[in-house]
Chain A
Amino acid sequence: QQQVKQSPQSLIVQKGGISIINCAYENTAFDYFPWYQQFPGKGPALLIAIRPDVSEKKEGRFTISFNKSAKQFSLHIMDSQPGDSATYFCAATQISTGNQFYFGTGTSLTVIP
């Protein structure tokens, strides 16, 4: 079964708007939650990550919000730009198990100029 559920499958946002992608997980042993960005024809690259001891992490225009009790986390992209158009994957892992990442199904983001 899908260990990490991601929504929406696709998202269209106007330039300057806020993009929000949501993920939910079941395994409470997960202790590292990264977001990866993938451009067409390329491998995924780490965008931002969070550990469950904090509720929010911000890096530039990208913010992860983490709700441990609800077992949910989300990616917010502020002031979205056309260059942000890509596929975004959330993931989760239990670090002590060799970093086996469980990925969400991905969100295709299109930012319209």
Chain B
Amino acid sequence: NAGVTQTPKFRILKIGQSMTLQCAQDMNHNYMYWYRQDPGMGLKLIYYSVGAGITDKGEVPNGYNVSRSTTEDFPLRLELAAPSQTSVYFCASSYSQGPYEQYFGPGTRLTVT
């Protein structure tokens, strides 16, 4: 199993550009999550999904959108990128029943200039 995969690993965007961060998991997990990690701030939940076709906002959803058309994929869309979206983005997945461990991908480092 590849686990949770994320692409790209690094990206530099100009202010106002848009992009999609890709996330896929091959563990047949129902639940998937997007976090951003900023220095000294821990991980903040952006959006999450409890199954295909179902998404909901986390703590910091502004400026982002998600979709979940399949169990495996959970892309994160950034529209009109802003410098405040410079961060490391992590995708994670977990089972809906126990164990409740979230499995994280390797991250995407995004810089908006």
Q: Give the interface of A toward B (CB within 8 A).
A: 6, 9, 32, 34, 41-46, 49, 89, 93, 95, 98-106
Expressed in whole angstroms, the Cα–Cα distance for A6 and B42 within the complex equals 10
CB-nearest residue of chain B to A44 = B104
Of the listed residues A34, A43, A93, the one surrounded by the most CB atoms of chain B closer than 10 A to its CB is A43
A43 to chain B, nearest CB (A): 3
Stretch at the interface among B12-20, B62-70, B72-80, B94-102: B94-102
Q: A46-B102, A99-B102 are in contact. List 14 more A-B contacts (CB 8 A).
A: A42-B106, A43-B107, A44-B43, A44-B104, A46-B101, A89-B43, A93-B100, A98-B48, A99-B48, A99-B100, A100-B58, A101-B33, A103-B35, A106-B42
Of the residues B59, B90, B94, contact of A43 by C-beta under 8 Å = B90
CB-nearest residue of chain A to B56 = A98
Known: A6-B42, A98-B31, A98-B56. A32 touches B50 (CB 8 A): no
B31 near A43: Cβ-Cβ < 8 Å: no
A3 to chain B, nearest CB (A): 9
CB-nearest residue of chain B to A32 = B100
Expressed in whole angstroms, the Cα–Cα distance for A44 and B43 within the complex equals 10
B41 within 8 A of A: yes
Expressed in whole angstroms, the Cα–Cα distance for A89 and B37 within the complex equals 12
A98 near B50: Cβ-Cβ < 8 Å: yes
Give the top 9 A-B pairs by smallest Cβ distance, nearest first. A43-B104, A103-B42, A103-B43, A105-B42, A46-B101, A98-B50, A44-B104, A106-B42, A32-B100
